[in-house]
Chains A and B, each alone.
Chain A
Amino acid sequence: MLLELKNIYKTYIQGSMEIPVLKDINLSIDEGEYVAIMGPSGSGKSTLMNIIGCIDKPTEGTYLLDGYEIEKCKDRELSAIRNKEIGFVFQNFNLLPRQSALDNVGLPMQYAKAGKKERRERSLKMLEMVDLADRVNFKPTQLSGGQKQRVAIARAMVNQPKILLADEPTGALDTKSGEQVMQIFDELHQNGVTIIMITHSPEIASCAKRVIRIIDGELYEGTDAPKKHVASEQETPAEDTREEKEASEEEQTSEDSEA
């Protein structure tokens, strides 16, 4: 067992209102699994993933990751876990706009206090892996969406973490770029990396060996989910993804203009 969530609750408090976002989540994932998380927008998928990635904390419940009892970990240990155990890929890439692809990929190694030479070598190898050896010194603004996401994957994997977390990695990409990303994920899966990926597209989810659904903050395994939800989810995906794509593109430009 690589990770195990037990009775996880996440509740936000807005004013006097309590907003339950995750309700009694129980989930175990073994090393090497490839899991897709599906569910309607706003159902709590990202919240769950952020908890798994140790960048958010549950309101209640216990979380075991590779032997660590996360709720007992200090800030320092959490940083180390995020750095070495987990690779994060975001829908909107989140690259540092002023730094080259190579420097972006090397960032997690810098936090692991790796030497300069080692950092460069491994970053180069990672960029080769995602087929971007010829874009090493490009800034994010000089790269396409698909290329940016591949840089982000290289960055996530540079410290050779056991787990790759991807929150709608293809949500902001065209079909072809999306396929390239899925191909890289497949390779990583073959090499034994545990992948947990949020997606709206049943096609992309079909790449995964296991599908779980979050609906209204509750977790359903496989086809367990109440029929009406599965149906409604399949009715709207196209529209849903397009909306998110536009939103994220806006985000990307505003981030870039900061530079």
Chain B
Amino acid sequence: MLENIRLSFQGIWSHKLRSLLTMLGIIIGIAAIIAIVSTIKGTSQQIKENLVGSGNSNVEIKLMQGEWPYASGNDTRPSYVPVVDENIKAEILAVDEVTGVASYRIGSMYDGINCGDIGLEGVSLIGADPDYLSLAGYTLTAGRLFTDRDYDRYMKFAILDATAASTVTTGESPIGKTIEIKGDPYVVIGVVEQTDTFTPKITSIEDWETYYGDSAGGRIFVPDVDWPMIFGFDEPYNIIVKPRSTDDMTKAGKKTADILNDHFTNTNSENQGENGYKYRSQDLLEKAKQMQEVSESTSRQLIWIASISLIVGGIGVMNIMLVSVTERTREIGLKKALGARKSVILGQFLTEAAVLTSIGGLIGVSGGVGLAYLISNVAGMPVAISGAAIAISVAFSTVIGIVFGFIPSLKAANLSPIDALRYE
């Protein structure tokens, strides 16, 4: 076997140009596949890093109407949508995959919030329950957080995030300032910052939507009990849960949504169908997956095209092996006359074909890795080289050699010694 491999190298080396041309299809096919797989892996790894690596594994469960989040501020809570009280929260907390739960209400305010002359446009107003800020990963940088007393007394206090704080004041501390929300004065008692902040690599507008979509103008937090005073009507809650681990994100979100939906008091047509209300988990990972699926399906088509190149390459190998068998007819005849069995001749030619395509595979892999880095540099796409993809590609190219080398090898093995020896 080793002897065969050594001889194959010798044979391939003695026909350098011919061998290279034969391998070209394999090289191109494998290189394309490696480059594509590296790009897919790079993209998905980046998305994962952005989400999971940041520690932001919380899952939001929002009330949806059909495909869209419940639009706040223009409607009161549908009567059959439950108020998320302590009982429901306890029920959610009992789910294995959930280690923390908080509820909040959110409204995007394009006007109606101002601090003296300064308008806070595009800010998100969040009505937080007592657990919300710590669960969502906010820590205090100035002032204080809400206390139970604030909730009990419906205090008109506000906490700002860094973005909102910088809009309100420049330089000096915003603590003690008064913000008007829909005409009601709220006193700023604290400034928070999301500690597990992450700076996702933004390579497309979709990325931006995913990571920053709802917080571009900053956030203002008020006790959730103040909500009806601001808007004059009750509104449904959104839920945020902390999963046991990042792998449990999807499960934790789904189970929480199920619990909430079970508490709907009306299960007939009103909350069914396309326009019905329903809680649904907003798993960022899932969102990212959907994004990724689009790019993967295009990549998969590219891989099909690359596979065709591999098949064409395989046929090229078959062709050249047939030529090689013909050229070496006398050699085959001689070997048979000296006592070589069919299996010996078969093995010799199969090895040669497999070595040829394996070398092609290896060249293709290095070409593909180079191409991946070129794509990364030129198009700015993230790439990650997959060891498994490399191993599979090389193994696959070996298999191509064996498959397409089989017919020529069999032809060689079945030559009659006398015909082969007499061949001119």
Does A76 have its Cβ within 8 Å of any Cβ on chain B? yes
| B418 adjacent to A55 (CB under 8 Å) | yes
Does B244 have its Cβ within 8 Å of any Cβ on chain A? no
| B418 adjacent to A96 (CB under 8 Å) | no
In the complex, which residues of chain B have a beta carbon less than 8 angstroms from the beta carbon of A80?
A: 339
- If over half of B's interface residues share one DSSP class (helix, strand or loop), that class is named, otherwise mixed; here it is helix
Assuming the contacts A50-B418, A56-B418, A111-B344, asked whether A96 and B338 have C-beta atoms less than 8 A apart, the reply is: no
In the complex, which residues of chain A have a beta carbon less than 8 angstroms from the beta carbon of B3?
A: 110
Choose among B14, B330, B336 the residue that contacts A55 (Cβ–Cβ < 8 A): B336
Q: Which of B340-362 contact A (CB under 8 A)?
A: 340-342, 344
Q: Which of A79, A80, A258 has the most CB of B within 10 A?
A: A79
Does B288 have its Cβ within 8 Å of any Cβ on chain A? no
In the complex, which residues of chain B have a beta carbon less than 8 angstroms from the beta carbon of A94?
A: 330, 334, 421
Choose among B14, B331, B338 the residue that contacts A82 (Cβ–Cβ < 8 A): B338
| A79 adjacent to B336 (CB under 8 Å) | yes
A116 closest partner in B (C-beta): B3
| A82 adjacent to B339 (CB under 8 Å) | yes
| B330 adjacent to A255 (CB under 8 Å) | yes
| A112 adjacent to B341 (CB under 8 Å) | no
Does A107 have its Cβ within 8 Å of any Cβ on chain B? yes
In the complex, which residues of chain A have a beta carbon less than 8 angstroms from the beta carbon of B76?
A: none
In the complex, which residues of chain B have a beta carbon less than 8 angstroms from the beta carbon of A155?
A: 338
A107 to B14, CA, bound (A): 21
| B339 adjacent to A83 (CB under 8 Å) | yes
| A111 adjacent to B327 (CB under 8 Å) | no
Does A88 have its Cβ within 8 Å of any Cβ on chain B? yes
B114 CB to closest chain A CB, in angstroms? 90
A88 to B337, CA, bound (A): 8
In the complex, which residues of chain A have a beta carbon less than 8 angstroms from the beta carbon of B418?
A: 50, 55-56
B56 CB to closest chain A CB, in angstroms? 63
A contact set with B: CB distance below 8 Å: 50, 53, 55-56, 75-76, 79-84, 88, 94, 96, 98, 107-108, 110-112, 155, 159, 255, 258-259
**Given contact pairs A55-B417, A159-B339, A259-B14, a sample of 11 additional A-B residue pairs in the complex whose CB atoms are under 8 Å apart:** A53-B337, A76-B342, A81-B339, A82-B337, A83-B340, A96-B334, A107-B338, A111-B338, A111-B341, A112-B339, A255-B330
B contact set with A: CB distance below 8 Å: 3, 10-11, 14, 327, 330-331, 333-342, 344, 417-418, 421
